[in-house]
Amino acid sequence: MPKALTIAIDMRSCGAGATGVGRSVRSLVEHMVQAAPERRFCLLASDPEQVGNLAFSENVELVSVPCSQRRHPANELWMNFRLRRMLEERKVKVYYGPAFLIPFRSIGIPSVLGIHDLSTFEGKKYQSRRFQFYLRWTIRLGMRQASRIIVPSEHVRRGIVNRFGFPSERIAAIPHGAPPPPAKSSEDKRREVRAKPVALGDSCISGKEHRELPKLQADNDGIVVFVFRTGPSWSLGQ
């Protein structure tokens, strides 16, 4: 029986205070682990909260990382000089950096880089100049080592090709998925139908309508709209 392919994924963008990038990475990895039980996943994290319940999956190994992505230059030194040995010890075959960051040096195996957008190259005001410089630098160096790049849209894919000349055939556009809404119970569906307002009356309510009012209110969760004519204008009551 062939050995399971082992994939290492950097989870340090997840956890407390995660941005939209971190939340999308967490959702993506959760679905990957469920969809590919025959694969082994080494999840790299500096805090157990970044992995959460994924640590209890049979095909997941939690690997502790000594520093967060925000510690500079400790993160860059660890990633480029110590990570490779860690991956070799676990016989990892593919490394995935889903949040703009992969080693700048070769680690001896294919590396996949996740780029969610190119806003840092557009001078967005919500990013400091220092952070923009850092992120632009890491993205450019990462692309030199990336075997593949994953982006969430064709727009980002075209932007990378046009701006950096990266081969389009090595970029995969995989849209961010949204979790399905929770299934509605039969009671929820019944209440949705019954919640539609019922209009009664023109200038008054007839005797028949008055007698049926309690039943109408019960059948429509109390939502009954009365329309009264007051001179030349109209008013509503409930």
Determine, yes or no, domain membership for 180.
no
Residue that terminates a domain, selected from 132, 150, 173: 173
142 and 231 assigned to the same domain: no
CA 61 to CA 95: how far, in whole Å? 14
pLDDT surpassing 80 at residue 61: yes
Last residue of a domain, one of 119, 146, 173: 173
Q: For residue range 217-230, what is the model confidence (pLDDT) as tens digits?
A: 555 554 544 444 44
Query: Domain check: are 207 and 169 in the same one?
Result: no
One domain for residues 74 and 157: yes
Residue 225 included in any domain? yes
pLDDT score of 93: 96
Q: Are residues 201 and 137 in the same domain?
A: no
For residue 41, what are the domain limits?
6-173
Determine the residue type at 14.
C
In order, the DSSP letters of 82-137 are THHHHHHHTT--EEEE-SS---SS--SS-EEEE----GGGGT-TTS-HHHHHHHHH
The CATH number assigned to the domain holding 90 equals 3.40.50.2000
Compute the half-sphere exposure of residue 230: CA atoms within 13 Å on the CB side of its CA. 7
Model pTM?
0.73
Among 141, 173, 205, the domain boundary falls at: 173
Q: Are residues 190 and 95 in the same domain?
A: no
Whether residues 93 and 151 share a domain: the answer is yes
Q: Given this model, what pLDDT does residue 198 score?
A: 45
With a pLDDT cut of 90, the percent of the chain lying above it is 56
In this structure, are 113 and 79 located in the same domain? Answer: yes
Number of folded domains that form the chain: 2
What per-residue confidence (pLDDT) applies to 180? 61
In this predicted model, what pLDDT tens digit does every residue of 78-133 receive, in sequence order?
999 999 999 999 999 999 999 999 999 999 999 999 999 999 998 777 778 888 99
What is the DSSP code (8-state) at residue 168? G
d(CA 149, CA 162): 15
